Amino acid sequence: MTTTDGNLVLSSAANGTFYALDATTGKVLFKSNIDKAPIGGGVATYTVGNKQYIAVAAGNTSKGLNGAKNVTSRVAIYTLP
């Protein structure tokens, strides 16, 4: 899990689902499935100019994770409003 100064908790699941949650209420604010590619690592955030981005690495991060084989690795990038 990764937290932000903007009161978000960023999390992911091994089934390829990425979540952005309200840190106070736990409410799911955003959810995206990254082509059912397993997400085995953390989530990173960075800023360019005044825009904040979220990077999520997915794919064959661990062989055999959830039975996923030959899943193309990728990085999904999201922006915060």
pLDDT at 19 (0 to 100): 92
Q: How far apart are CA 9 and CA 7, in angstroms?
A: 7
Q: How far apart are CA 15 and CA 10, in angstroms?
A: 15
pTM of the model: 0.74
- Average pLDDT over every residue of 7-26: 89
Paired residues of 14 in beta bridges: none
pLDDT digits (tens, 9 = 90+) for 27-81: 999 999 887 777 767 788 999 998 989 998 887 655 555 555 566 778 889 998 7
Domains and CATH numbers, the chain: 2-79 (2.40.10)
Paired residues of 35 in beta bridges: none
pLDDT at 74 (0 to 100): 81
